[in-house]
Amino acid sequence: MDYYREHRNEFLEGLKAWLRIASISTLPEYAAQVRRAAEFARDALADAGLERAELIEGTGHPLVYAEWLGAPGKPTLLLYGHYDVQPPDPLEEWKSPPFEPEVREENIYARGASDDKGQTWILIKAVEGWLKTQRRLPVNVRFLIEGEEESGGGHISAYVASHPPRLAADAAVICDTEMFAPGLPTICVGLRGIVYAEIEVEGATHDLHSGVYGGVAPNPLQAVAEILCALKDRDGRIRIPGFLDRVRPPSPKEKEAWQRLPFDEQHYREKELGVSQLTGEPGYSVFERLWARPTFEVHGIRGGFTGEGAKTVIPARAVAKVSMRLVADQKPEEAAEQLRRSVAEVCPRGVKAEVRILHSAGPSLVDPENPLVKAAA
């Protein structure tokens, strides 16, 4: 541990230098900075003592790879992180500039500090400490750091799908999740999947004046409200037939572990969310609702008039943007189909409803009893 203490300041300055690079992957005008951030990661991996540190070119932003395979017979870990960041707007919400890292009360503030340069940096420096002081690691490691996590991840998807031998590993570690509480290292064993969809409702062929047609014309906005309420009841129970059938309940061990987490519901409710009451399905704890139960949420409703003042239009169409978060063992294609069928069933008279899936991803869950998870814990 001395190595880490001695180099603490140098590590911090290194992270700050990385954070200063505005590697906003979704904005083409930042492409040069994105590449600089990739090269910075590659150089840091090489300096840490890893081998074959290099950029993997392809469509989009480069992947960064490095390895140390000097422990034959020992497990191999594939370590994932990303060096790109999201756009920092709205800028007026920042207390210090997003690409000028600032330490305030033991926290470092900059775009990418916690998503995901900070975590990735810790992994690199952890490996560096072993290699500089012991000349070896207890396991084999391969780093794969991408630059498109915030903009689609096309490059890494194609690369992983082709199964190059250099990705062979016994476990993959993703350092892109949160710590549950300050000072509480956290192993996240599951991630919810998603189905993101638009529900489009069509009424008349053109917008109508509610003074002339109100009373007989179907209102697509009201129809959207009716569909949303039919899909999820006032208690937060999702009413899509079959949707909950595959949901795998958490094991008694998991539930017990969750109970040991330091959690003050009142503080969470009042300080983190600022609401009078939490919602969600009755009969499930907060963590079950957050981590082990699927969700159905509406994210926006388009249609009609939303400007200042009053306009009495009955719009010809309305669109709701919704997502379903999936847990193990739900399947995105099946959930999408259940949504489609369910919307068709509950669609009010006089309107037509269509479901368009914008994107989806499966849930992932690793058994907490997995020996590698236990070894890490």
> Which amino acid makes up residue 275?
V
* Angle between helical axes of 31-47 and 8-19 (0-180°, round to 10): 160
C-alpha of 22 from chain center: 20
Binds a copy of itself by CB under 8 A, chosen from 216, 266, 267, 283: 216
Q: Is the Cβ–Cβ distance between 175 and 120 less than 8 Å?
A: yes
Tell me the C-alpha distance between 63 and 69, whole Å.
Answer: 19
Closest CA to 326 of 286, 357, 363, 292: 363
Binds a copy of itself by CB under 8 A, chosen from 5, 206, 260, 267: 206
CB of 365 to a copy of itself, least distance (A): 15
Stretch that binds a copy of itself, among 2-10, 35-43, 57-65, 228-236 (CB under 8 A): 228-236
> Which amino acid makes up residue 246?
R
- Taking CB under 8 A as the rule, which mask of x and - marks residues 57-96 in contact with a copy of itself? ----------------------------------------
Q: Is the Cβ–Cβ distance between 313 and 208 less than 8 Å?
A: yes
139/199 with CB nearer a copy of itself: 199
CB of 315 to a copy of itself, least distance (A): 8
Stretch that binds a copy of itself, among 13-21, 74-82, 159-167, 188-196 (CB under 8 A): 188-196
Burial-class residue 213 by CB neighbours within 10 Å (0-12, 13-18, 19+): middle
Binds a copy of itself by CB under 8 A, chosen from 126, 217, 372, 373: 217
What is the DSSP pairing of strand 140-146 with strand 76-82? Answer: parallel
CB of 224 to a copy of itself, least distance (A): 7
Q: What sign does the dihedral 135-139-142-147 (CA atoms) show? A: negative
CB of 217 to a copy of itself, least distance (A): 6
| 225 scored as a contact of a copy of itself (CB under 8 A) | yes
CB of 304 to a copy of itself, least distance (A): 4
Q: Which residues pair with 196 in a beta bridge?
A: 323, 359
SS3 356: strand
319/328 with CB nearer a copy of itself: 319
**Scanning residues 309 to 338, which ones bind a copy of itself (CB under 8 A)?**
309-315, 319, 321, 323, 325
**Distances from the Cα of 169 to the Cαs of 69, 144, 150, 153, 364, in angstroms?**
11, 12, 25, 21, 18
The residues binding a copy of itself (CB under 8 A) are 192, 194, 196, 203-206, 208, 210-219, 221-222, 224-226, 228-229, 232, 234, 273-281, 286, 289-290, 293, 295, 297-306, 309-315, 319, 321, 323, 325, 348-352, 358-359
